[in-house]
């Protein structure tokens, strides 16, 4: 049976996902086989495994940090909100149903056996399991049906560390208040506290730490500084992804759709020389840019309506008239066509809607969800403007419930789907090459493709081409090590090992 440790937070976005990734890397560096686990994940940022199964992106990042392949065993339940009240429920990587909050609350207890089975299977294969909670364990109205915080810790008999975010202020109160709202058995499971995202002089904080320890009768295992590492976050609401950049010879704008999904698709672009990547938030205008990206969406029709009602659609069409590059990924690609049909009303009450008309395509929303890892070849017949990317091999993954006829002007040809030979057209491209769309998430993690595309943009602006960009996957490996160094130097890792061994 493996050792285990669980990180729970005083609230959402306190840094649990990042610290879980850091511990996975540290234990890997120490010679252990290690895997992450999160029983229930609510996120629109997802990934497709080699088996064609869908899981939360956060556990994919943590698996990468652990040096292992992602598996749905690490995230048996994934919730993908499709509106303010409903979400798609994905169990073991497959769509199960769509439920509102009250329906899901009643359904949760039925998931306990599945969660325990998946955790046990994972435990049989790894020395250490690092478990991540969700939100806060002090949601007292949800305690009786909890499957992701203290309910899970009890189910798998795991010790717990509570993480508090000092950057937002009130960290002492949030930690003490969280422990106050736990019952005696839950408090006994808490073996220590981590203060995260600290800025400033640690010596000034130390008296407060001592007072907190006296109040809660728990040790502070360490204080982790606010760390500028480039590791994919779980939640699209995280501030770092939506701050406007500055400078850069090439300006790339990404529309922050109300139901944006897989926003991490564009993170590789942030690291490019002379590139400014920025997000266009609700209430903002696009303004001038060299490249506009319409990202994926969990509710394509709803988000298309939002673009129209806000006037952003008119800005998009004006950018097209001005000869700017416009790129659509997945749901964004669907929006760029002439029509979207939803005959089964999967996304809501609208069965048919006009698209932006940027590409000569139509999409039908289907009941079956496509979830595949893919390898593809960019078309060799693209317009000359896109010559730097012609014929390139790329890989990524598809997650969509729409079928689009790419016609004769496809952007790429899929040659492998989940490791099996395929011969499928993907995406579409305009006759001048300034507009294209694709279903392939992760396409910007292909360094040759990114270099070629940026060079096409640079050519159009009369700029010299770049000859080299760092491989994004190698860059991420270096960042995992950098994150591990910071956390190892900030936490009492020896104490964490003692905690795990004490609750074996």
Per-residue H/E/C for 194-227: EEEEECCCHHHHHHHHHHHHHHHCCCEEEEEECC
DSSP helix/strand/coil, 501: helix
Length of the chain: 504
> Residue 330 catalytic?
yes
Q: Is 259 a catalytic residue?
A: no
Give the CA distances from residue 389 to residues 377, 392, 447, in Å, rounded to whole numbers and listed in that order.
10, 6, 11
Between helix 16-29 and helix 472-490 the angle, nearest 10°, is 90
Q: Which of 24, 87, 400, 441 is catalytic?
A: 441
Q: Which residues, 6 or more positions from 39, have their beta carbon under 8 angstroms from its beta carbon?
A: 75, 76, 77, 111, 115, 119, 147, 148, 152
292: number of Cβ within 10 Å: 24
| Helix runs in 96-236, H state only | 101-107, 112-123, 150-156, 171-181, 184-189, 202-216
First vs last C-alpha separation in the chain: 8
Which of 24, 330, 400, 503 is an active site residue? 330
Torsion angle, CA of 194/200/206/211, rounded to 10 degrees? -70
State the alpha helices, DSSP H only, in 30-100: 57-66
Residues annotated catalytic, as ranges: 330, 441
């Amino acid at each position: 049976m493996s050792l285990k440790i669980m990180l729970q937070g005083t609230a959402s976005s306190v840094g649990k996902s990042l610290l879980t990734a850091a511990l996975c890397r540290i234990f890997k560096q120490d010679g252990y086989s290690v895997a992450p686990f999160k029983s229930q994940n609510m996120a629109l940022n997802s990934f497709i495994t080699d088996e064609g199964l869908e899981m939360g992106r956060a556990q994919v990042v943590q698996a990468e940090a652990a040096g292992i392949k992602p598996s749905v065993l690490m995230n048996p339940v994934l919730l993908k909100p499709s509106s303010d009240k409903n979400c798609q429920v994905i169990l073991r990587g497959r769509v199960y149903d769509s439920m509102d909050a009250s329906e899901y609350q009643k359904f949760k207890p039925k998931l306990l056996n599945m969660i325990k089975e998946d955790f046990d299977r994972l435990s049989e294969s790894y020395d250490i399991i690092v478990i991540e909670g969700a939100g806060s364990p002090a949601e007292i109205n949800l305690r009786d049906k909890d499957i992701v915080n203290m309910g899970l810790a009890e189910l798998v008999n795991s010790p717990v560390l509570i993480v508090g975010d000092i950057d937002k202020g009130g960290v002492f109160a949030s930690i003490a208040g969280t422990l106050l709202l736990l019952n005696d058995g839950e408090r006994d499971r808490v073996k220590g506290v981590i203060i995260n995202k600290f800025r400033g002089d640690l010596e000034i904080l130390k008296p407060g730490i001592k007072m907190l320890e006296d109040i809660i009768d728990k040790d502070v295992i360490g204080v982790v500084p606010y760390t500028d590492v480039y590791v994919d976050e779980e939640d699209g609401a995280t501030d770092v992804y939506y701050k406007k950049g500055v400078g850069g010879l090439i300006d790339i704008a990404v529309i922050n759709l109300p139901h944006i999904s897989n926003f991490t698709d564009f993170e590789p672009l942030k690291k490019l020389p002379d590139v400014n990547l920025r997000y266009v938030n609700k209430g903002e205008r696009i303004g001038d840019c060299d490249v506009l990206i319409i990202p994926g969406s969990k509710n394509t029709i709803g988000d298309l309506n939002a673009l129209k009602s806000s006037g952003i659609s008119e800005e998009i069409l004006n950018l097209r008239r001005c000869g700017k590059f416009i790129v659509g990924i997945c749901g964004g690609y669907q929006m760029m066509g002439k029509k979207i049909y939803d005959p089964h009303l999967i996304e809501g009450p609208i069965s048919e809607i006009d698209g932006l008309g940027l590409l000569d395509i139509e999409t039908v929303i289907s009941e079956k969800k496509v979830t595949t890892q893919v390898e593809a070849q960019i078309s060799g017949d693209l317009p000359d403007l896109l010559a730097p990317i012609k014929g390139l091999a790329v890989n990524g993954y598809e997650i969509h419930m729409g079928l689009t006829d790419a016609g004769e002007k496809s952007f790429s040809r899929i040659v492998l789907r989940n490791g099996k030979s395929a011969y499928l057209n993907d995406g579409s491209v305009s006759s001048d090459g300034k507009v294209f769309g694709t279903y392939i998430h992760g396409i910007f993690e292909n360094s040759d493709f990114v270099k070629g595309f940026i060079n096409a943009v640079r050519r159009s602006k009369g700029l010299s081409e770049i000859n080299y960009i760092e491989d994004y996957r190698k860059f991420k490996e270096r960042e995992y090590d950098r994150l591990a160094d910071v956390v190892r130097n900030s936490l009492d890792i020896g104490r964490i090992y003692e905690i795990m061994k004490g609750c074996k």
